[in-house]
Structure 1
Amino acid sequence: MRAGLIATLISTGLLAPREAHAFKLFGITLWGERDKGSDVIDPVRYSLTFESPGSDKDLRKVLENSSLLLADKEKPVSGDLGVVVKAREDRERLIAALYEQSRYGGTVTVTVNGTPLDALPPNPTFPRNAPVPVSVTVDPGPAFTLGHVTLEGDAAGLDPAKYDLVPGKPAGSLVIIGAANRMVNDLKAGSHPLAAVADRQVVADHATNRVDVTLRIAAGPVAPLGPVTVTGSKRVDAGFIQKYSRLKPGQAYSPDELRKANDRLRKLGVFSSVTVKQAETLDANGAIPLTIDVSEGKFRYFGVGATYSTIDGAGLQGYWGHRNLFGEAESLRLEGSVSGLGQNGVGDLNYAAGITFTKPGYLLPSGTLEASIKAATLSTDSYDADTITGKLGYSYELNDYDTLSAATALEFARVDDAFGKNDYLTFSVPLEYVRDTRDDKMNPKEGYKASLSMAPSYEFLGSNVFTNLEGSISGYYGLGQEDRVVLAGKLSLGTLFSTGDLADIPATRRFFAGGGGSVRGYAYQGISPRNGNDDATGGLSYMTASLEARVGITDTIGLVPFFDVGTVSTGHVPDFSDIRAGAGLGLRYATPFGPIRLDVALPLNPYPDGDKYGIYVGIGQSF
């Protein structure tokens, strides 16, 4: 029986010396003293009594979550006046929370050291022999509903129900504020950059427990974009920033386009902050001027990592990069790794090294040029390969969801597999179309990603022509208001056509399946047709499918039961004569950079000498 467990720790960014008293991982203090923050001048502690009679469980939770007195009860405040200031702020927060919950008749009573808050002197003095007693009592009062809803000005023709303003429905303050903001946004989307709320009247009738709302919206004139100015740039060319934003003077004003410009500039990785601001007035030409304000981040970065596997031994990885090589966000990344330490002899270690250059906005603002050269040695259960690959590619964003890419690649491969030791020199033209509507690339809860690719190729040493055709689609569907359960599925298919035999195609281009991104529970590239000697040969077609139920247990921890299935065939169409399936359970831990994944999988019909289970660790969901 064989099993593998891999753990990885990666550190990125520039390292700067600083004093450290504790070690934290994902926000959890593992050892050392917890950070208590900066010292408080004249520290005064308080004790708190928090009551809310008449509140149901949900409302009480909302009130408790709104109270900073409750959240910070273990922290001292600065001076006796600090207690009073904090109590006054808390009262305002609690009143706002009641309004948000449609409770316009509620009251919040606060006493400090037994004295009502508003009866305290300007500079109170409290005994210091014990924490200052603070009492908060919240009477929520009745729930109010919406009464008459009146829309005036440029909102007069809008339907209040479209904005959740329906008489008889809850009259929460956030509903009313949100409705007005959505009306303004809808008018801005119609190229009215100066649209604003001109008047908002909210009148609560305590005799009927109803709230009458009057909203007046002023749309302002229709206006195109005016001059686009860039501020804050130092080493990144301002003209490139304006070009890459894709905001052009004269185009129709659209808040959505401003948001997209902000997002695409952030994704360049060269800025610590990006803000796209519009002027408060139109210019002399009736256009709205824009300012792109940026703050540049650190351009150089590096990282190191380590892995360990009971199957493959230890491994080390490292990389260095520069995000702004020539002043237009060109990136250069050098990376290398070695694995098999302690498991294989020096001559059998796996090595990889590569250098990648990327130039965004090449030729067109939506285009990206990428050039790379990579060398690697790879040892799998099915074959061993030493490769060196050069690639030059260009990708173009058709819109927010669709991307086309094309490249040329030249690869030399020395392969030791079921067909013996052979050399291959292959020129290919990879082509790909991707449509991606996922809401989150690392942890999607809705949407789908679909891709179609082909790679016409010519192998020089054997004068063989072949083409890989592949397609995949993954979809995500969240259940419940908070998407506590996400159903995820993926289907992948591929076929390969060649003028030669299977042996004339490099093993790196034949189809195999198995591993953490395929059929879990089986070795990487371990699922394959086999010859009379029981050696894996790879195939000309494949199909893999995965189903997952991603169940959130807490805000940070989730469980994922999963089922994977796959087959690889020697024909151009999968014949499903040898289907391999795996099932298991995964654990997810949410972090700011994506969920940490731990999957334990069992092969349901393992090979006689294959793994009996597999353990997979990584960052991000499995697909």
Structure 2
Amino acid sequence: MPLRVCAAVCVLITAQGWIPSASALQAPGQTTPQTPPQTTPSRPQPGNAATEPIITDEEFDATIPTLDADPNAPLGTIEEWDAEQTRLEQNASPDRAITGDPLSAPMELDPELDAPLGPIGSFDVEPFDESQYTQAAEDDATRAVRYTYRIEGLTARPAPDASETPALSDVSDKARKAVDPDDIRARFRELSALDDGDGRAANGAMVSARMIEDQQLLADLLIGQCFFDATVNGAVEMPESGEGPMVVVLTASPGPCYRFDSITFTAPPVEPEDLITRSFVPAIGEPVDADRVLAAEANIAVALPQYGYPFAQVGQRDVLLDPATDSADYTLPVTPGARSSFGDIVTSGTSVFEADHIATLARFDKGDLYDSRLVDDLRKALVATGLYSVVAVKPEPTGEVAPDGTQYAALAVEQEAGPARTLAANAGYGTGQGIRAQGSWTHRNLFPPEGALIASIIAGTQEQGASGTFRRSNAGRRDRSVELSLSALRSDFAAFEAFTGRLAGRISYSSTPIWQKPITYSYGFELLGTNEQDFNFDLGRRDRRTYYVAALPGQITWDRSNDLLDPTTGFRLSAQVSPEASLGSGTQFYGRGLVEATGYFPFGDSIVLAGRARVGSIFGADRPDIAPSRRYYAGGGGSVRGFGFQELGPKDPDNRPIGGRSLVEGAAEVRYRFGNYGIVGFVDAGQVSISSTPGFDDLRFGAGLGGRFYTNFGPMRLDVATPIGRRPGESRVSIYISIGQAF
């Protein structure tokens, strides 16, 4: 028979049974001791049943097939093998012969299987007990593994001594900073699987998996902070008493902290010549901190395009570690590309603006040195128009040389138009002003470029009106708008009732949510005709009169606050002036002026003290010659809280306000914010006088509390106030709801 059969029976048989060779029991790397050979009898000892062999030597020899004379002869067939086995079975001793196929013997079946089924009622059915499964589930939950963890082996590493390290002798103390393990521990807690599990796991295997994951995490953190030879081992300590949580111990062996011995940049000369080196913050002698290195490389990639290199590329770093000195040689290849200036603007995609209007939005001219910050600014300006769904601005090389020796870089603007129409609405409530809701429809590019048509309506308990406005944004200059509007409005307040038609135009340079400008201004004209009801003291009754007014309003604001809707620091100063003429029964010329100042003073991270002062005056005309809607009033959510809208000031015999020619107001708030919520305590004061000279002899005060809910577009406010020294007819409590801070 073939040789392959022998391999299945190559076992050393002795009187003691089978024994593997010594080499099979030898652990890897273990040296096998040399022992003298032992003599083992080949036959069993008489009378020792425990050592009686299973078969005799003669029977064993008879079962071993003989080898073919020719080992290279082909193997026999399966049929020949089966015939040989049959012959051996027939020649075997009778007590060892196998008779028949045990698998083919008939199986004796249980006679009950052939019996017919009994009636259903005879079955003894036990009801399903859900409680035992619920209890089992609760038992599984209570068997959840509890654990804690600790980190060993992290200790503070002092800064190296420059006197002992020649390479650091010329390096500042700041560069030779110590390594703080607390930073590694803090970052480990942020990312740790063990920490994220809150000390509980379904079973021990889950704890083991978390431990293995955190071993790698801690090693990566150590390597990232200059410990390139770091290793971390994990172990689990079981509670001695058998109760309590297991303890996962991560033992760190940081090894030496590698520090920069040299920092080299392979790059051609750039302008300025230290542009690359000054952008790389890590210095010689500092630890090789991966985060600082990556941030420094990113800083180079940012700085080069800001100084005329739009096509700069930062290559792959090379860090050579020297274990003998625990130092690192750092090399970074940098390809700055051609120094470039701004070239032409080219557009592609769904056109929204032509290149000449895009150039109007840019804060640079062709030929200016390329600066990626100005490119980002242009992209934001395009987004701020609200006319794009997608817009991208990127430089492209032209190969054209500019007069100053740089190369022109064209700006490719890829445009994808977005919806140009917008529906908007806002609503508010104020005591004395009632509910006021305003809705508008806007087509922002009906008259390209950026010529918008706006239709709006006002629906409130005391105001109703409609208006249409044409506005061209970025008109000849970035952030300059030109507006022309026509409106009709009915107002019914305690101070006056008016039906007003108004035609107005304005040119303004204003702040936007993206760019808050330090100086803003506006100027324009107003023509209005208004029929208003006012108390005629000469006749002793309320009378109607039609006024025709022409005005040239203007405003300028100096804004050093940090936010338009929710300032927390800085100040604002603004001045308004409006020369006006009241036409009709005798022409009257007069002027209206108003000055306002606000300031914001933070105390810590959550408290802001805010203050406001306002002074106004109308000079050149008597009060009856001024339309009631053009006089000064005080009271309300944006004026003196605690009083109704326009409630303060002189009144007629019916106790209705009649307005005045001068105004003083002041307010102080303490704003406390916690998360997305806030509480405000405030005191307001104000007075309206008949004289054009502001007075302080009858100041009225209101005080209250407010709530704030902060959103991504500004705070929503709810203020509740009460007048101090309330007089007859004045409300005990006033409520104001709107968007944005009071000032």
TM-score (norm 1): 0.70
**Mapped partners of 1:457, 1:226: distance in 2:** 49
- Equivalences for 1:500-539 in 2 at 5 Å? 500-530=621-651, 534-539=655-660
- Equivalences for 1:146-157 in 2 at 5 Å? 157=274
Does residue 456 (structure 1) correspond to residue 579 (structure 2)? The answer is: yes
Does residue 615 (structure 1) correspond to residue 739 (structure 2)? The answer is: no
- Equivalences for 1:575-614 in 2 at 5 Å? 575-614=695-734
Shift of 1:92: 9.1
Shift of 1:181: 4.4
| Superposed CA offset, 1:103-154 (max 9, x none) | 988888999xxxxxxxxxxxxxxxxxxxxxxx99797979989877958676
Shift of 1:159: 12
- Equivalent residue for 1:389, pick from 495, 502, 509: 502
Residue type of the partner of 2:444? R
- Equivalent residue for 1:444, pick from 559, 567, 571: 567
| 8 Å Cα contact 2:506-2:523 kept in structure 1 | yes
Shift of 1:410: 0.6
**Mapped partners of 1:287, 1:424: distance in 2:** 61
Shift of 1:508: 2.0
Residues 288 and 235 of structure 1: CA distance in aligned 2, closer, same or farther (over 3 Å): closer
Q: Which has the higher helix share?
A: 2
Q: Which has the larger radius of gyration?
A: 2
- Equivalences for 1:302-317 in 2 at 5 Å? 302-304=423-425, 316-317=437-438
Shift of 1:506: 1.6
**Mapped partners of 1:507, 1:568: distance in 2:** 14
- Equivalences for 1:289-308 in 2 at 5 Å? 289-304=410-425
- Equivalences for 1:297-376 in 2 at 5 Å? 297-304=418-425, 316-340=437-461, 350-376=463-489
**Mapped partners of 2:557, 2:251: distance in 1:** 54
Residues 290 and 236 of structure 1: CA distance in aligned 2, closer, same or farther (over 3 Å): closer
| 8 Å Cα contact 1:228-1:248 kept in structure 2 | no
Shift of 1:538: 1.9
Residues 228 and 600 of structure 1: CA distance in aligned 2, closer, same or farther (over 3 Å): same
Residue type of the partner of 2:506? G
Residue type of the partner of 1:508? S
Residue type of the partner of 2:711? T
| 8 Å Cα contact 1:404-1:432 kept in structure 2 | yes
**Mapped partners of 1:543, 1:149: distance in 2:** 68
Residues 539 and 364 of structure 1: CA distance in aligned 2, closer, same or farther (over 3 Å): same
**Mapped partners of 1:209, 1:606: distance in 2:** 79
Shift of 1:531: 5.7
The equivalent residue for 2:493 is 380
**Mapped partners of 1:97, 1:456: distance in 2:** 69
Residue type of the partner of 1:360? S
Residue type of the partner of 2:446? L
Residue type of the partner of 1:392? G
The equivalent residue for 1:558 is 678
**Mapped partners of 1:48, 1:548: distance in 2:** 51
Residue type of the partner of 2:466? A
Shift of 1:391: 0.7
| 8 Å Cα contact 1:540-1:572 kept in structure 2 | yes
Residues 309 and 510 of structure 1: CA distance in aligned 2, closer, same or farther (over 3 Å): closer
Shift of 1:87: 12
- Equivalent residue for 2:552, pick from 423, 429, 441: 429
- Equivalent residue for 2:616, pick from 466, 474, 494: 494
Residue type of the partner of 1:432? Q
TM-score (norm 2): 0.60
User: Please, what is the CA RMSD of the aligned residues?
Assistant: 4.7
Shift of 1:63: 5.1
* SS at structure 1 position matched to 2:647: coil
Residues 214 and 580 of structure 1: CA distance in aligned 2, closer, same or farther (over 3 Å): farther
Shift of 1:371: 1.0
**Mapped partners of 2:183, 2:678: distance in 1:** 24
Shift of 1:466: 1.3
**Mapped partners of 1:241, 1:318: distance in 2:** 31
The equivalent residue for 2:343 is 226
**Mapped partners of 2:253, 2:661: distance in 1:** 69
**Mapped partners of 1:233, 1:197: distance in 2:** 34
**Mapped partners of 2:678, 2:148: distance in 1:** 33
The equivalent residue for 1:474 is 598
Residue type of the partner of 1:442? L
- Equivalences for 1:276-295 in 2 at 5 Å? 276-279=393-396, 283-285=400-402, 286-295=407-416
The equivalent residue for 2:125 is none
* SS at structure 2 position matched to 1:324: strand
Residue type of the partner of 2:701? A
| 8 Å Cα contact 2:429-2:738 kept in structure 1 | no
**Mapped partners of 1:564, 1:211: distance in 2:** 65
* SS at structure 2 position matched to 1:287: strand
* SS at structure 2 position matched to 1:259: helix
Shift of 1:368: 1.6
Q: How many residues in Structure 1 have an aligned counterpart in Structure 2?
A: 532
| 8 Å Cα contact 1:101-1:172 kept in structure 2 | yes
Residues 99 and 229 of structure 1: CA distance in aligned 2, closer, same or farther (over 3 Å): farther
The equivalent residue for 1:567 is 687
Residues 355 and 363 of structure 1: CA distance in aligned 2, closer, same or farther (over 3 Å): same
**Mapped partners of 1:508, 1:140: distance in 2:** 80
* SS at structure 2 position matched to 1:576: coil
**Mapped partners of 1:92, 1:294: distance in 2:** 46
The equivalent residue for 1:414 is 531
| Superposed CA offset, 1:508-565 (max 9, x none) | 22111221112222212222234676542322222323333332212x2222233323
**Mapped partners of 2:400, 2:340: distance in 1:** 10
Shift of 1:446: 3.7
The equivalent residue for 1:403 is 520
* SS at structure 2 position matched to 1:577: coil
Shift of 1:373: 1.3
- Relative CO higher for 1 or 2, CA cutoff 8 Å, sep ≥ 6? 1
Shift of 1:460: 0.8
Residues 258 and 423 of structure 1: CA distance in aligned 2, closer, same or farther (over 3 Å): same
The equivalent residue for 1:29 is none
| 8 Å Cα contact 1:247-1:261 kept in structure 2 | no
| 8 Å Cα contact 1:389-1:412 kept in structure 2 | yes
| 8 Å Cα contact 1:228-1:249 kept in structure 2 | no
* SS at structure 1 position matched to 2:374: helix
Q: Which runs of 5+ in 1 are unaligned?
A: 1-46, 74-83, 112-134, 341-348
Residues 224 and 207 of structure 1: CA distance in aligned 2, closer, same or farther (over 3 Å): same
The equivalent residue for 1:43 is none
- Equivalent residue for 1:272, pick from 382, 389, 403: 389
**Mapped partners of 2:225, 2:606: distance in 1:** 23
The equivalent residue for 1:41 is none
Residues 96 and 504 of structure 1: CA distance in aligned 2, closer, same or farther (over 3 Å): farther
**Mapped partners of 2:682, 2:322: distance in 1:** 54
- Equivalences for 1:2-21 in 2 at 5 Å? none
**Mapped partners of 1:323, 1:48: distance in 2:** 62
Residues 165 and 368 of structure 1: CA distance in aligned 2, closer, same or farther (over 3 Å): same
Q: Which runs of 5+ in 2 are unaligned?
A: 1-144, 155-180, 199-208, 236-247, 537-541
